[in-house]
A and B are shown apart, each in its own frame.
Chain A
């Protein structure tokens, strides 16, 4: 039987965590793009796009991410579409993070006071010009800290993809723990690596918050 040294475990975990990072980036970038589209539907004046965006948010915030992963992986499989764990994980995480990002961003747009809308309207600006020059630039500023903060949730959310067999950090931990019989060491290290990934993000979010508050 092979003996796993501490270094073996650590290098294997670090090697696997690149998938955690990649998946997080893909989920965050894809989710952000999708959320941007949903945002314009949610804050726009047209009624139906707004309703659909709200329904989307309700569905993806109101069901566990794990169920969404299962549906993406097994559900599509049942329909005869062969999905790899990577594709299913990506798709589910993108859809999930978009639902949260669009709510964060919508809140930031709503936070811009009525006075800004009225002042720009009184100057003869139309809806598009008000959005582009007055409301969105201010909302963007408000949105940066909570958006960075949410990225921590995305990183931790990737851990669930281990259940559909995607070999990221948590899945690698499970495999190594089964093979090495050292669950405490292995999962201790897994936790530390997650922390090392998330801590800079939450510190960054706090810094940005302070910085943007001062500038305001």
Chain B
């Protein structure tokens, strides 16, 4: 059975229809890359999956439970699906360690000592065990993004959504973040990532989704998608060397 199932998903902003009927199923442990031109609805799709955007029509099911509209149901959903943002969005008034601990304490009700031990383990996992007491402003972009990954992992989600997680980084910092994502993939974490890193998508992902004008235009294993694009749109996209 699929971990995440999306059926007939529609979403408009005003009169602009951004998602025009998306069907997608992601199995547990699968790593899926979503590619496409800007404005094709990639990020919106991702944001719908954890309820940051409301859905106009269609169903999203995570681990057998349908996405509801009430705040309690949304919160339950978000505990299953973590999210990492392009702009990191760390809490600037808290240290790296506190960033990772906060939701654990506030949402899961973990005692302080337990949350701290977990936060140290998670920061170790992304190679930042030594930065527990550093504030976000004292960290590089790559380090901040790794803290954001640790923060999401601390909630022990079933899947992680990555929204262009390297797009705001200087080129020399991209590698360290992708390294962490690669490790997560190897450990069997379910990942859905919107990305512009085509080489990475080709190497790490099980399936690639090409979105075009609010629809899933092509879908398949990276070898097929990149080597034998079937539609002219994907051919053009791949040829431009994204």
Task: List A contacts of B148 (CB < 8 A).
Answer: 119
Dominant SS among interface residues on chain A:
helix
A-contact 0/1 string along B75-117, CB 8 Å cutoff: 1001100110101011111000000001100110000000000
Task: List B contacts of A118 (CB < 8 A).
Answer: 52, 83, 85, 89
Q: Does B42 contact A (CB under 8 A)?
A: no
Q: Does A133 contact B (CB under 8 A)?
A: yes
B89–A129 contact, CB under 8 A?
A: no
Q: Does B137 contact A (CB under 8 A)?
A: yes
Q: Does B71 contact A (CB under 8 A)?
A: yes
Identify the closest chain B residue to A122 (Cβ): B83
B-contact 0/1 string along A162-206, CB 8 Å cutoff: 000000000000000000000000000000000000000000000
Task: Give complex CA distance A61, B40 in Å.
Answer: 46
A122–B52 contact, CB under 8 A?
A: yes
Q: A127-B71, A138-B92, A216-B92 are in contact. Are A120 and B103 (CB under 8 A)?
A: yes
Q: A119-B89, A141-B93 are in contact. Are A125 and B52 (CB under 8 A)?
A: no
Of A119, A127, A133, which is in contact with the most chain B CB atoms at under 10 Å from its CB? Answer: A119
Q: Does A80 contact B (CB under 8 A)?
A: no
Range, interface on chain A: 10 to 19
B71–A125 contact, CB under 8 A?
A: no
A125–B92 contact, CB under 8 A?
A: no
Identify the closest chain A residue to B80 (Cβ): A124
Task: List B contacts of A134 (CB < 8 A).
Answer: 91, 102
Task: Give complex CA distance A123, B90 in Å.
Answer: 12
Task: List B contacts of A64 (CB < 8 A).
Answer: none
A137–B93 contact, CB under 8 A?
A: yes
Task: Give complex CA distance A115, B93 in Å.
Answer: 14
Q: Does A126 contact B (CB under 8 A)?
A: yes
Q: Does A12 contact B (CB under 8 A)?
A: no
A-contact 0/1 string along B10-54, CB 8 Å cutoff: 000000000000000000000000000000000000000010100
Q: Does B155 contact A (CB under 8 A)?
A: yes
Task: List A contacts of B90 (CB < 8 A).
Answer: 119
A-contact 0/1 string along B48-80, CB 8 Å cutoff: 001010000000000000000001001100110
Q: How many A-B contacts at CB < 8 Å in the complex?
A: 62
Task: List B contacts of A137 (CB < 8 A).
Answer: 93
In B147-188, the 8 Å CB interface with A consists of 148, 151-152, 155
Task: Give complex CA distance A133, B71 in Å.
Answer: 18
Identify the closest chain A residue to B51 (Cβ): A121
Task: List B contacts of A138 (CB < 8 A).
Answer: 91-93
Of A118, A120, A123, which is in contact with the most chain B CB atoms at under 10 Å from its CB? Answer: A123
Task: Give complex CA distance A120, B52 in Å.
Answer: 11
A216–B137 contact, CB under 8 A?
A: yes
B87–A125 contact, CB under 8 A?
A: no
Identify the closest chain A residue to B52 (Cβ): A118
Task: Give complex CA distance A141, B75 in Å.
Answer: 28
Q: With both chains docked as a complex, state the minimum distance between the C-beta of A138 and any C-beta of chain B, in angstroms.
A: 5
B151–A123 contact, CB under 8 A?
A: yes
Which residues of chain A have a CB within 8 Å of any CB of chain B?
A: 115-116, 118-127, 129, 133-134, 137-138, 141, 216
Q: Which 4 A-B pairs have the closest CB atoms?
A: A119-B89, A123-B103, A115-B89, A122-B83
Q: Could you jot down 10 A-B contacts, CB within 8 Å?
A: A115-B85, A118-B52, A118-B83, A118-B89, A121-B52, A121-B74, A122-B82, A123-B103, A125-B103, A141-B93
In addition to A115-B89, A116-B91, A123-B82, 6 A-B residue pairs with Cβ atoms within 8 Å of each other are A118-B85, A121-B52, A121-B74, A122-B82, A122-B83, A129-B106
